[in-house]
Structure 1
Amino acid sequence: MRLSLTRIESYVLSATLLGVGVALAVIAAVIMLADFVELSRTLGVGAELGFSQTLRLTLLHAPSVILLLLPFAFLFGVLGAFVNLNRRSELIAMRAAGVSAWRFIFPAAGAAVVIGLVAITILNPVASALAAQYERDVEALRRGAAVASGKEIWLRQGDSHTQIVIHAHRQVSQGETLVLTGVSLFVSTPSKDHKGLEFSRRIEAQQAKLTPGAWLLTGAREATPGAEALRYDSLTLPTTLEGRTALERFTSPKAVPFWGLWDAISRTELAGFPATGYRLQLDELLATPLLLAAMSVLAAAFSLRLIRLGGLAGLAGSGVALGFVLFFFNQFCRALGEAGAIPPMAAAWTPPVLALLSGFTLLCYTEDG
């Protein structure tokens, strides 16, 4: 199998990568400008946000949004590169010399696959870390300090023998330590007939601090059915939760890096919660290389029409319109996947597969008749 590229293939590939780079730079500039203006409008007045702070937040947030719109960079970049080659009659000369369109489209699609793999394995974890820092900084600016999240917290821990549902009125940040206030714990144990779990006791505490392997409850009051309530200044309750991941189900799946999704799925399901969002995010990331390749093939197929035949601008515009249709179709499938209407794998892989098949169909019709 030949892995090296000919001079023509290398030339078309370099022009394609240049077009993608220009499209990505334009998209990134537009995103950063819009984000900068939005941050200045929403946070600048109340938090007295300066130019440097606004720029820092913009740079933190931009990578995650850019990765989301990376398929458009390939659509516009490849389309622009091939239209430019067509206008300069370079594609006509290549095809007149007997070079099939498949030969210079497949290297571009291969490059898209490689860039997609780099994006999900390297760039996505970096973007997720920056996005998490962005959320923390924005929350701190909105509240004046990194204090409470303002949302009620519901957690669950346990196994087949014991289940504990934890409710707290607020979460307090103390560095990396998770601290909850206004806590109620509902403990269930196996029933006497061993056919299920039944409520066994309730514990209320002023504060619960998550330490390694245990909850440290302060000002606790324990009540069991038919017995007098017991009070404790402090009470320790074993747990399998970790401070770093206990609240992960309240975090958007997009904020979890690629390499942490498998662990997030197993921990979420072990705690008894559905992991549909994490599974969908994982499948979408795994499908990213295929989606980028599909956008490259689709864009190239829409720009191969000979310029002397006319209608190239309309065909290229149709390619852009189809790209937007695929984007909204992708979001529609994602919504169905999040709602559980279709399996996460089907929701993530259907749009790129359809896009790739559409590109191959159009390419076969254009090139082979």
Structure 2
Amino acid sequence: MKQAPLPRRVRLAPLGHYTRYVLLAYLRQVVLIVLVLWIIALTIDLWPQMDNITQACHSGTTRCVVRFCLLRTPRLIGPLVPFMTFLGVFVTELMHTRSGERTLFFNSGRSPAQSLMPALLLGLCLGPMDVALDAWLGPASMAVQMKERIGRDGQRLDRARESNLNWIVLRDGLLSTHVVQTGRPVLTQLEFFRFAGPGQLVQVVRAASAEQVGQSNVWHVKTGRKWQSPDGIARLSMSDALTGNAMAPFTDMDLQLSLDPLWLSVIGMEVQYVPFRVLLALSGREAQGYRDAPYRTQLHMIIAEALLPGIMAVLAAALAVTFLAYGARAMIAGAVLFVGYLAHSAIRACALLGESGDVPPILAAWLVPLLAIATVILVLRREKRRR
């Protein structure tokens, strides 16, 4: 007697037809959303400075504008990659729900947790791209803009022009100066107030310029006036300090200033535009004249960005396949979309808090990703208990 054939064992393939089909759908939506938001962001960024750009053109206007758009792209798109990933996954899952494909996927025996492989692969694709945009392409494109003095930011951050006035707190005093980059940082129109203790002013130096001597903390100061009281007993009135009365003139002198020349080369520049090698150096050495919180925060944010698109993709997929699997009610869809926007806003807010020193840099970079992962775990456990 012939025996009935044993039923074929069904196994889920991580890189099977479902994964490839959904991953391609995710990528199509992400590319479409990137194009739409890129056009909107470029319009907002380009419109106020169009005259400035066209006047700086030495070749064809159209070519110059297109080139400038490409130079601005890394800075405009980089911060939005995690949110655009969330939107791409959310829109795709919404379309699958409305077409009935999500029900078909579930009827094949695939649980919500097993439906996350395409989102994970999407994160593996977009994570390195996000890191490249923020760590290398963004600073490199800004370096070109500064060198060619094209656009508002390129002219504002031009290293060859005198910077705005900077007040720098040093270990032993307070420095007011402008900075010009001529191969090496040069201090101009500087005023230095040295203190021997709280409220004990012992030296005031006003000079036209100062240059660093070798790699030391000694700066050669030229053409200025000084006042000095080694014991801090003699008093200098504020009016005398401001007008230069009671201050002896000098032609040149050496002055001890604990300043980091590498930091002076990027002074006044937003951390997003600082070259990655400089960012690594400033975040890993003793801070001299600057706060290292912005640089350490940016470094941790770049590291987190390797995983952030994947985390946002998994968050969108978990929420969609759990709450929008059998119907796309407007209230629930809006709530899922709000969660993604809230995560995006929280990432930006944490970055600002980290740069200001109100939150530790590592916490600023990893708080939102960890909360997103915890949300995914809770949602999947809740769905598993329901089943």
**TM-score, normalised relative to structure 1:** 0.78
Alignment map for 1:7-156 (pairs within 5 Å):
7-40=17-50, 43=52, 51-113=62-124, 115-121=126-132, 123-134=134-145, 137=150, 138=152, 147-149=161-163, 151-155=164-168
Q: CA, structure 1 residues 308+31, in 2 after alignment: closer, same or farther (shift >3 Å)?
A: closer
Alignment map for 1:281-292 (pairs within 5 Å):
281-292=298-309
Gaps of at least 5 residues in structure 1 are none
Contact 2:97–2:328 (8 Å) recurs in 1: no
Contact 1:24–1:73 (8 Å) recurs in 2: yes
Contact 1:181–1:206 (8 Å) recurs in 2: yes
| Amino acid corresponding to residue 350 of structure 1 in structure 2 | L
Q: CA, structure 1 residues 4+257, in 2 after alignment: closer, same or farther (shift >3 Å)?
A: farther
Matched, 1:224 2:228: yes
Query: Structure 2 CA distance, aligned partners of 1:61 and 1:215?
Result: 37
For the residue of structure 1 that corresponds to 2:264, the secondary structure is coil
Matched, 1:329 2:338: no
Gaps of at least 5 residues in structure 2 are 1-11, 235-245
* Aligned partner of 1:301 among 318, 326, 345: 318
Cα displacement (A) at 1:80: 1.9
Q: CA, structure 1 residues 326+61, in 2 after alignment: closer, same or farther (shift >3 Å)?
A: same
Cα displacement (A) at 1:263: 1.4
Contact 1:178–1:209 (8 Å) recurs in 2: yes
Q: CA, structure 1 residues 263+114, in 2 after alignment: closer, same or farther (shift >3 Å)?
A: farther
Q: CA, structure 1 residues 134+19, in 2 after alignment: closer, same or farther (shift >3 Å)?
A: same
* Aligned partner of 1:316 among 333, 341, 346: 333
Q: CA-atom RMSD, angstroms?
A: 3.9
Higher Cα Rg, which structure: 2
- 2:241 alignment counterpart: none
Q: CA, structure 1 residues 21+211, in 2 after alignment: closer, same or farther (shift >3 Å)?
A: farther
Q: Percent of aligned pairs with the same residue?
A: 24
Matched, 1:360 2:370: no
Contact 2:212–2:219 (8 Å) recurs in 1: yes
| Greater RCO (CA < 8 Å, at least 6 residues apart) | 2
**TM-score, normalised relative to structure 2:** 0.74
- 2:179 alignment counterpart: 171
Cα displacement (A) at 1:66: 0.8
Contact 1:290–1:353 (8 Å) recurs in 2: no
- 1:205 alignment counterpart: 207
Alignment map for 1:183-194 (pairs within 5 Å):
183-187=190-194
Cα displacement (A) at 1:293: 2.4
Cα displacement (A) at 1:271: 0.8
For the residue of structure 2 that corresponds to 1:302, the secondary structure is helix
Contact 2:126–2:310 (8 Å) recurs in 1: no
Contact 1:209–1:215 (8 Å) recurs in 2: yes
Contact 1:128–1:256 (8 Å) recurs in 2: yes
Matched, 1:181 2:194: no
Contact 1:333–1:348 (8 Å) recurs in 2: yes
